[in-house]
Chains A and B, each alone.
Chain A
Amino acid sequence: MPEREITFAQAVREALAEEMRRDARVCIIGEDVAEAGTPFKVLSGLVEEFGARRVVDTPISEAGFTGVAVGAAMTGLRPVVDIMFGDFITLTMDQMVNQAAKAHYMSGGHWKVPMVMRTTLGATRRSAAQHSQSLHAWFSHVPGLKVVLPSTPYDAKGLLKAAIRDENPVVFFEDKMMYKLKGPVPEDDYTIPLGVADVKRAGDDITLVATSSMVQVALGAAIMLEKEGLSAEVVDPRTTWPLDEKTLIDSAKKTSRVIVLDEGYGRYGVTAELAAVIAEGAFYDLDAPVKRMGAMHVPIPFSPPLEDATVPTEQTVFEAVRLMCKPA
């Protein structure tokens, strides 16, 4: 029997529904999460099954309801907060960085904050500079938070279920351009542990370390490279923290060349951290400096040709690999 295929959005919804059925403490809090099911319709149907007590529509008050989730998580609920666009995490920073991330440590381990923040990332939706950013590096910088970047429907379901069961604040970034991406997803209950990378494609000549939407870009580039006789390995860390350093380093040692791809801003970003981890761990096995590819250091522009120029594509990755592996 062929494996069932569902979309990324359906996988997210299925993970939430399963966890809400399993654990009455799990609730969803956010703007237009109930009847509207969010603008991306990711949550459609949940309020009908679980009711307004567990799928809670809020005013447009990101800081307020994120703070409520922190306190509710400390006192017995397991809230999943919905931040409609990743750009709006700026409004929640004190609650996430100074409260959620620190409550366990500051209290000497007495209080716990088992909450999830689901939000989005990703450009090329023609949404301009305040609805297109990929700001996951900011939370990855903060001790006490975990950061998850699913790249397939399968990973989205398993990682979200693990995030909801985690005893810590976890930020879960969904690429809004991937919501319609289809892939095989088991109907069973399964989780994917946070902190375990996944080799999405085995190869010998170069390692493409890629996160979220960039995994799909890397896989596309790998097919193009195959025709050039180049074999690319695609490694998806799946979580920026905890980080599976070993899998990244092992792959780098095997192929001796690495490009790190991430849709966040390149400067001081996730690519910088991953490149440093690989350079430190695999230095003597590398045949070239680790290359980084991320969003350009500009506010995301609206105009389509301008926006398209800001993020790595299959073509730009293909060219970068060819240059690295077959210097003129």
Chain B
Amino acid sequence: MTTATSKPEVGRGTVAEKEKWLRAYRQMVSIRLFEEQVNEVYTRALMPGLAHLYSGEEAVAVGICEALRIDDYITSTHRGHGHCLAKGASPDRMFAELLGKEAGYCRGKGGSMHIADPATGNLGANAIVGGSVGIATGAAFAAKNLGTDRVAICFFGEGALGQGSLYEVMNLAQLWKLPVIYVCENNLYNEYTRYQETTAGTILGRATAFGIEAMSVDGQDVRAVNEVATRLVKRARAGVGPAFLQCDTYRYSGHHVGDINREYYRSKQEEQLWKTDRDPILVLAKWLIDQSYADAASLDRITAEVRATMESAVKFAIAAPYPNVDEVEKHVYA
């Protein structure tokens, strides 16, 4: 059995509530500024490979992970920096991994799309769309089989709705009442294609067909995401079974950093509307100020502190050594 404790539910207007949402604010700003640095480092040609930014979707990762314990599991995606940070990864080792350095979470062997960290229950980001649905369901299977009360969160984009293995494991999860929550981040675009062109029927209908508890939530509102996630996690932990949560969100950048000219699949006006009207950080900032939990100056201080952390993380990663070449054949087998 695990010794970790659940995060306490906080009452309205309490100090704990204030601290919780200021923490969530800081986490969302951390993800946003982490990705800003990734964009910067990538465009300066310091980062090899590909970079898929999470900017715009911060409320999903933070709202969900804020409902989890450190020993709960997550599986992540190619657009996974936000999930890893929200689950507790440290930016310096994340950046080191992005640059292929030995100090990275995977000793530089995984890179941006494969960050994994047992200490925070991160079973790994996955570069196969829908590739981790089995792993997350398997972690829930093990939790149930071993009698722990851990919960597994399976993050995936709406693009993964096209993968058949998702339906195989949802069927298993519901048959076996596994403590897994399928979190579908609907950012509207399967890479460069609007999701309506690839998705017949409804998204939730896919889960309800199996009798799985399914709902959607405004993925730009971290409090709304957290509220429903807390309920679903509690339910899964109690052994009631799996759930499916559709989070409606938006990907600010292209599919990857190099996806600059996007007007053939979406308009600049659409992008701007999401940024001005539904930005998850602005939405929470407004609420914090309305509640008198923060003012503009205190939020600016958080941003400045986070920016300093991210800049120093990047410096750490750039200065860190690459793995020795004799590392190449290590870890093929355990």
Which A residues fall within an 8 A CB radius of B? 25, 27, 53, 58-59, 61, 63-77, 94-95, 98-99, 103-112, 114, 143-144, 146, 167-168
B134 and A98 contact, CB distance less than 8 A: no
Closest to B150 in A: A75
Candidates A69, A104, A108, A114; contact of B138 at CB < 8 Å: A69
Q: Which residue of A lies closest to B169 (CB)?
A: A64
Contact A103 B134 (CB under 8 A): no
Among B105, B139, B175, B330, max chain A CB count under 10 A is at: B139
Residues B141 and A71 in contact, CB atoms below 8 Å apart: yes
Stretch in contact with the other chain, from B27-35, B108-116, B199-207, B212-220:
B108-116
Given known pairs A71-B139, A98-B128, the reply for A104 and B146 (CB within 8 Å) is: no
Q: Give the size range of B's interface with the partner.
A: 35 or more
Query: Residue B137 at the A interface, CB < 8 A?
Result: yes
List the 3 shortest-distance A-B pairs measured between CB atoms, nearest first. A67-B134, A71-B138, A64-B168
Q: Which residues of B contact A111 (CB under 8 A)?
A: 116, 118, 123-124
Q: How far is the CB of B233 from chain A (nearest CB, A)?
A: 17
Contact yes or no, B138 A73, CB < 8 A: yes
- Contact indicator B118/A64 (Cβ below 8 Å): no
Whether B331 lies near A105 (C-beta < 8 A) is yes
Q: Least Cβ distance of A52 to chain B in Å? A: 11
Which residues on A sit within 8 Å (CB–CB) of B37?
A: none
Name the contact of B165 in the complex, choosing from A53, A63, A167 (C-beta under 8 A): A63
B128-A61 in contact (CB<8A): no
Q: Is B265 on the interface with A (CB-CB < 8 A)?
A: no
A76 is contacted by which of B131, B134, B142 (Cβ under 8 Å)? B142
B138's closest neighbor in chain A, by CB? Answer: A71
Task: Judge if B306 is at the interface, Cβ distance under 8 Å.
Answer: no
Establish whether residues B172 and A61, one from each chain, have CB atoms under 8 Å apart when the complex forms.
Answer: yes
Residue B145 lies at the interface, judged by CB distance under 8 Å to chain A:
yes
Q: Which residues on the B side are within 8 Å of A168 (C-beta)? A: 333-334
Contact of A68 with B169 in the complex, beta carbons under 8 Å: yes
The complex places the Cα of A186 from the Cα of B131 at a distance, in Å, of 42
Tell me whether B257 is interfacial, beta carbon within 8 Å.
no
Min CB distance B275 to A, Å, is 34
User: CA–CA, A131 to B224, complex, Å?
Assistant: 51
Q: Is B136 an interface residue (CB 8 A)?
A: yes
Partner of B333, one of A64, A73, A106, A144: A144
CB distance from A94 to the nearest CB of B (A): 6
B104: which of A73, A75, A108, A109 is its contact (CB, 8 Å)? Answer: A108
Q: Could you write out 6 A-B pairs with CB less than 8 Å apart?
A: A64-B169, A68-B169, A71-B139, A95-B165, A110-B117, A111-B116
Separation of A98 and B106 alpha carbons in the complex (Å): 16
Since A75-B143, A77-B142, A99-B135 are in contact, a sample of 16 more A-B pairs with Cβ atoms closer than 8 Å, ordered by chain A residue number, is: A25-B146, A59-B171, A61-B171, A64-B168, A68-B138, A70-B135, A71-B75, A71-B135, A76-B146, A94-B131, A105-B331, A106-B110, A106-B124, A108-B110, A110-B106, A144-B332
Contact check, B175 vs A59: say whether CB atoms are below 8 A apart. Answer: yes
Task: Give the distance in Å from the alpha carbon of A59 to the alpha carbon of B133 in the complex.
Answer: 16
Closest residue on chain A to residue B113 by CB atoms: A106
- Can you name the residue of chain A whose Cβ is closest to the Cβ of B110? A106
B107 at the interface (CB under 8 A from A): yes
- A61 to chain B: which residues have CB within 8 Å? 168-169, 171-172
| Residues of chain B with a CB closer than 8 A to A71's CB | 75, 123, 134-142, 152
Shortest distance from the beta carbon of A92 to any chain B beta carbon, whole Å: 10
**Complex Cα distance A111/B110, Å?**
12
A71→B106 CA distance, assembly (Å) = 18
A74 to B123, CA, bound (A): 8
B73 within 8 A of A: yes
| Distance of A184 Cα from B332 Cα, bound (Å) | 35
A111 to B133, CA, bound (A): 17
**B51-85 Cβ-contact flags toward A at 8 Å (1 or 0):** 00000000000000000000001010000000000
Residues of B near A146 (CB, < 8 A) are 333
Tell me the smallest distance from the CB of A175 to a CB of chain B, in Å.
26
